[in-house]
Structure 1
Amino acid sequence: QSVDQTDDKQTYYISETAKVGENCDIRHGVIIEDDVVVGNNCFIGEYAHITEGTVIDDYVYIGAKVMVLNLDRIVYMRDIATKLHPVHIKYGSRIAPAAVILPGITIGKNALVGIAAVITKDVPARQIHFGFPAKKRGNVQDDECIGEELVSQLKKKEDK
């Protein structure tokens, strides 16, 4: 009941129950599972895997090979009850390639997750986290934040 989609040599999988917003760039090999919500103007890089129930707000960048997880244990081929712990990636956040986001995590608005980071705790808005396990390494500067003012400037440029 799910669909494989091909778009100009880009092959990816999006569940029929997933919702993808407008003007999104979804690259080759991406997997988007059931009941995922992707906002508008998002980028999802090659071979990223977005698991069931994840919510991705507008203007989010997800790099290649990012794993967004939703279960606290592997239940493959086992009759074990488990509960989903969906992830929420908030507006304007950036997740660098090969990062792993553990179940139940919230990535705050305009936050930045570094390359190959393993996110084990929530990342507050406008913070930079990287490492294994990831730790706070700094703050996102004003000029790197996506906000209504910047969005309206970008739209004005598009209209010209």
Structure 2
Amino acid sequence: MQERSFYVHPQAEVEEGAQIGAGTRIWRQAHVRSQAHIGEQCNIGKGVYVESHVSIGSRVKIQNHVSVFEGVTIEDGVFIGPHVCFTNDMFPRAITPEGQLKSAEDWEVTPTLVKYGASLGAGSVIVCGITIGEFALIGAGAVVTKDVPAHALVFGNPARAQGYVCRCACRLTNVHELNGQLSGWCETCGTLCVFAK
């Protein structure tokens, strides 16, 4: 038997046809469906569900009991807190207008993109069809219904912009716009962050 380059807990299920990168760890009661793709050096927590056709980059940390449904793309370096839920259907129904149980062919998946370095707080709900920008920070319990710009801090229901954060996740001060870019100073790590508006 060929030795795997990734770890799967004996109580986790990784279906045949799933692609898992080297150094990734998948913990108990997680379920990774066939045709899902998970990159290298990821940590997939207890009870995480990763549906078919989901794409997860490398060095992604997904905490316990997260649901990642078809249509979601997660880039490298993303943090997803416990109990985060991604949706994928803008018009969900169990039955057709005629009253028949919907089949896989009746679903219309709406894609969602989480960009490099973003962080999603515990219990947040990500409504499908949006993009969360690089190094954005989503507060715990937020319901995200619109695109989130790079480095933006959003929280609430519905989530609203509350400022900007550094790559280290601390708030930026003195944020201003110049030539279509934003810049702000991080008093915590001493970095001047410059990013697209």
Give the one of 66, 90, 99 matched to 1:48. Answer: 66
Structure with the higher helix share, 1 or 2: 1
Normalising by structure 2, we get a TM-score of 0.67
Higher relative contact order (CA 8 A, sep 6+): 1
**What is the Cα deviation at residue 141 of structure 1?**
2.1
The one-letter code sitting in structure 2 at the alignment partner of 1:11 is: Q
CA distance in 1, matches of 2:148, 2:160: 9
Alpha-carbon distance between aligned partners in 2 of 1:141 and 1:9, rounded to the nearest angstrom: 30
Q: Which residue of 2 aligns with 1:151?
A: none
Q: TM-score, normalised by structure 1?
A: 0.82
| Structure number, greater radius of gyration | 2
1:4 equivalent in alignment to 2:13: yes
1:37 aligns with 2:62: no
Q: Which residue does the alignment assign to 1:109?
A: 134
Q: How many residues align?
A: 142
C-alpha spacing 1:138/1:55, structure 2 compared with 1 (3 Å) = same
CA distance in 2, matches of 1:38, 1:14: 11
- The residue number in structure 2 matching 1:158 is none
CA apart distance, 1:134 = 0.4
CA 1:122–1:52 in 2, change beyond 3 Å: closer, same or farther?
Answer: same
Name the aligned partner's letter for residue 38 of structure 1.
I
Structure 2, gaps ≥5 residues long: 1-11, 15-24, 171-197
Deviation of 1:11 after TM superposition, in Å, equals: 1.9
Equivalent of 1:126 in 140, 144, 151: 151
Which ranges of structure 1 fall in alignment gaps of 5 or more residues? 146-160
Q: CA deviation at 1:82?
A: 4.0
What pairs with 1:79-158 in structure 2 (closer than 5 Å)? 79=100, 81-144=106-169
Does the CA contact (< 8 Å) of 2:51 and 2:70 recur in 1?
Answer: yes
CA RMSD, Structure 1 to Structure 2 (Å): 2.0
**Residues 115, 131 of structure 2: 8 Å contact kept:** yes
How far does residue 73 in structure 1 lie from its aligned partner after superposition?
2.4
